[in-house]
Structure 1
Amino acid sequence: MRVGLGPMRDLLARLGDPQACLPVVHVGGTKGKGSVCALIEAGLMRAGLRVGRYASPHVESVTERVCLQGIPVGAARLAGALTRALDAHEAARRGGTAGADATWFDVLTAAGFTLFGEAGLDWAVVEVGLGGRLDSTNAVDGKVAVITNIGLEHTEILGHTRAAIAAEKVGILKPGAALVTTLPPDDEAGAVVAARAAALGCPVLRPATAPSASIAAENAALAGLVLDRLGAGGVRGRDGAPLHAGLLDAAARASASLPGRLERRVIRTARGPVPVVLDGAHVPFNLAAVLHDLGGDPTLAGPCTALVALAGDKDAAGFLAVLARHAAAIVGTEMPERRGHAAAALRALAAGEGVEAEAVALPEAGLARATELAARRGGWLLVTGSLHLVGALRGSTGLE
């Protein structure tokens, strides 16, 4: 983990600081930040504003990371911006300045901001990549900062407690901005976030959602509160009316759905159709929330069979302990060309939790085996643990 934003700022300066005049909503947190970004984007567009959204990671194509008016930029357009960002990187190398140490994510982020600067946007919605304080996206000054929630993730980089991780994530909050978060002030992480906001003189806004609220309801409440805050600060839509949470009507919420987030599909088998849910949850607390929401869905009848792959830095034991409380069978698999937990290791951890478990290293073969097990039980299939796994399987034959 690097120790500063110097490389990113050097790249942007060489590109004309395209982010400098860009009004930004900056969204961080452990889970839900991509969906919250998409909802804020949808609300701003519903108000008739021109909006860009920067997201990570992508599921199938890198162009998903840079959206203009809700549509991923074309490959040629992104390639042109990447070329300019790479030219800036090369110039920094020749000049011996900080940009010489830029990362791939720095270059991609600089390319995205360059496209935003050229597009004449009213607002940009920017999702943090990792952490916050030292993330490449933190070169922007957000008018509103969102911290969705805090869980234990990337602990080798961000810290081993929720408080330490919160200190990194709240680094996106800038003087003069407002903070929107679900974290209560008496929570371990919430106390850190509240203290930082107080030190900067920033107001803290929290949505009034019930503890049992669904993931979708909580995300919509956060996004709605952002829109309310912008409206209260004088931001108006094309019709002259202040922005407000009501912009997130049913159509706007539907347009904000993202691939791999509680995505519904089906696989047809000789025994009948098997309902499939694709969700990239990869930390225990988020998986628990996903399973809680799915548990009340009458269309998901019968037992759950799960196909799982996890990156090597994820808490596989904790993840599978949660999953084993809900799944009748678990198939461990692996992500091609990515360092992760071996399928056999996932099988062993699941078996240790007392659930039927198998290992199939190749994702396509794992999907076929998990589908067979789900069809035999008359149940449904959950593909989870990684957005990379979801991306590798979304185009699979038979997945409708």
Structure 2
Amino acid sequence: MHVAPAAPIPSDAPRPPGDGLPLPEVLARLDRLTDWEKRPRGGMRVGLAPMRDLLARLGAPQSRLRVVHVGGTKGKGSVGALIEAGLLRAGLRTGRYASPHVESITERVCLDGRPVAEAVLARALSRALDAHEAARHDDGPGGDATWFDVLTAAALLVFGEAGLDWAVIEVGLGGRLDSTNAVDGEVAVITNIGLEHTEILGSTRAAIAAEKAGILKAGAALVTTLAPGDEAGAVAAARAAALGCPVLRPVLAPDASIAEENAALAGLVLDRLGGCGVRGPGGTPLGAALLDGAARAVARLPGRLERRTVSTAAGPVPVVLDGAHVPFNLAAVLRDLARAGDLPGPFCALVAMAGDKDAAGFLAVLAGSAGAIVCTEMPERRGHAAEALRRLATGAGIAAEAEASPEAALARAADLAAARGGWLLVTGSLHLVGALRGATKAEAPGRDRCRSP
């Protein structure tokens, strides 16, 4: 749907009284909008008209960006961070937009590998919210903008004004109708396809692939792990063929780890950009070679196979934090952890899951490995009740307990792991990981890039 451009709000125009407020106050204003990350999604409004109207009112900042657009079921954040690391290694000014965050909302908007300053995000959010209010006054499409629409518009405004060479934009949900699809990516990535958000995206992998492939635009290239003979891969390939877009697939070993798969996808994106003539300011060619060990280390994100410890009366217990929330990704996480060979004894799992996730399938994967599960839930988040998860786990043959409070559940799960001489896996949701990460300790000094302190 085409939305006629509205008069943009000049960056040097007098700011309204609310501009310059600290980020918590601006977020309180933002939180009055519909946030589908916290609600059941059965009646979710999806569409690009509100987003396009907001961006037009903000001066179309996305039109000043060269974009790599990253979608898929799992691995979007890690692949995006790796692409960002390669672009930065080449000396290119780069922004990255991702969701959800683990501990601070500033993690979602990174400039040159670091979370955006709170004051910068607050100002951009204020302007995006002003555009939303103006659209409501004018009865324009932007009046129906959601929490994610406004945040995405603010991120694009930050990027558009920062003079970036490239922006790496991660899809929020789906692709075709996602707020981020107001950008035109020169490369579109579909990491993989699994069953998720089925009430919105469809009940088959093919239907979900049709939504996710909607980020592919004419003139772009598609980078994906999906094979052409796969039901989802066939849909993505057909979309590419209809648009005349090349499809690039990494060569992966059958037993490739999550990290290897992510690096291969990111490397292929960098190869594509380099082949199209993209160079760093000193003439540095882009390519997979930029993703050496140092670049991969700096691209690690919190809550993705992250090693930490938690204190118990019996001593520290090793903890792995991972936001896996679909069965196939959990299976890959467990496979990679088993290969690592440095985690002592059996493990216990602490699990919370959003209501639209395949909890039964997820717990069935855990049933083959976990010694015990503590089920919990997240206040103010749409999700499975702890007791409902416990019943599913018990039905799958796992010893399970329910504790609604995440903090109490962490203490209980850590005690169970300590009693068994093992370790603890916190999984099922990045929101759970974010809620509990502060109660754990890093294994060694240091700070991962683009995370809050």
TM-score, normalization by structure 2: 0.87
* 1:139 alignment partner in structure 2: 182
> Residues of 1 paired with 2:269 and 2:194: CA distance?
22
Is residue 34 of structure 1 aligned with residue 87 of structure 2?
no
1:73 pairs with 2:112: no
Offset of residue 32 of structure 1:
0.2
Residue 261 (structure 2) aligns with: 218
- Post-superposition offset of 1:104: 1.1
Q: Does 1:8 align with 2:51?
A: yes
Task: State the partner residue of 1:262.
Answer: 305
- For residues 364-379 of structure 1, the aligned pairs below 5 Å read 364-379=407-422
What is the match of residue 364 of structure 2? 321
Q: Encode CA deviations 1:71-115: one digit per residue, 9 max, x unaligned.
A: 111212111100100111111111111111111111100000000
String of CA shifts for 1:139-187, please: whole Å, max 9, x gaps.
0000000000000000000000000000000000000000000000000
- CA distance in 2 between partners of 1:53 and 1:339 (Å): 27
User: Residues 344-355 of structure 1: matches in 2 within 5 Å?
Assistant: 344-355=387-398
Q: Distance in 2 between matches of 1:391 and 1:289?
A: 21
Aligned counterpart for 1:229 among listed residues 243, 265, 272: 272
AA partner of residue 57 (structure 2): R
Normalised by the length of structure 1, the TM-score is 0.98
1:55-204 to 2 correspondence within 5 Å?
55-204=98-247
* Contact kept? 2:308, 2:441, Cα under 8 Å: no
* Of 331-340 and 320-329, the range deviating more from structure 2: 331-340
4+ long deviations beyond 6 Å: none
CA contact (8 A) 2:352 2:376 kept: yes
User: Alignment identity in percent?
Assistant: 80
1:250 to 293, 304, 313: 293
Aligned partner of 2:267: which letter?
G
Checking the alignment, whether the CA contact within 8 Å between 1:7 and 1:101 is kept in structure 2 is yes
Q: Does the 8 Å contact 2:267/2:288 carry over to 1? A: yes
SS at match of 2:412: helix
Secondary structure at 1:41 match in 2: helix
Checking the alignment, whether the CA contact within 8 Å between 1:59 and 1:260 is kept in structure 2 is yes
**Which residue in 2 is equivalent to 1:380?**
423
Q: Residue 305 of structure 1: which of 348, 355, 378 is its match?
A: 348
Q: CA deviation at 1:268?
A: 3.8
Secondary structure, aligned partner of 2:77: helix
Q: Report deviation, 1:266.
A: 1.2
Kept in 2: contact 1:2–1:134 (CA 8 A): no
Aligned match of 2:4: none
Gap change, CA 1:369 and 1:247, over 3 Å in 2: same
Given residue 111 of structure 1, which amino acid in structure 2 is its aligned partner? Answer: A
Question: For 1:358 and 1:23, how far apart are their aligned partners in 2?
Answer: 49
1:44 aligns with 2:87: yes
Is 1:206–2:249 an aligned residue pair? Answer: yes
Q: CA deviation at 1:324?
A: 1.0
User: Which has the larger displacement, 264-273 or 72-81?
Assistant: 264-273
Worse-matched range after superposition: 22-31 or 266-275: 266-275
Three-state SS of the structure 2 residue aligned to 1:192 is helix
Does residue 358 in structure 1 map to residue 401 in structure 2?
A: yes
Equivalences for residues 286-297 of structure 1 within 5 A: 286-297=329-340
- 1:271, CA displacement in angstroms? 3.3
* Per-residue deviation, residues 114-159 of structure 1 (Å, max 9, x unmatched): 0001100000000000000000000000000000000000000000
* Partners of 1:185 and 1:362 in 2: CA distance: 45
**Structure 2 portions without partners, runs of 5+:** 1-43, 444-453
State the distance in 2 between where 1:293 and 1:190 align. Answer: 25
Q: Specify the alignment match of 2:65 in structure 1.
A: 22
The letter of the residue matching 2:86 is G
Q: Secondary structure at the match of 1:56?
A: coil
Let me know the Cα RMSD of the aligned residues.
Answer: 1.1
Partner Cα distance (1:274, 1:97) in 2: 54
Q: CA deviation at 1:61?
A: 1.0
Shift of 1:239: 2.1
Whole-Å separation in 1 of the counterparts to 2:166 and 2:148? 22
Deviation at 1:241, TM superposition (A): 2.8
Q: In the alignment, what sits opposite 2:17?
A: none
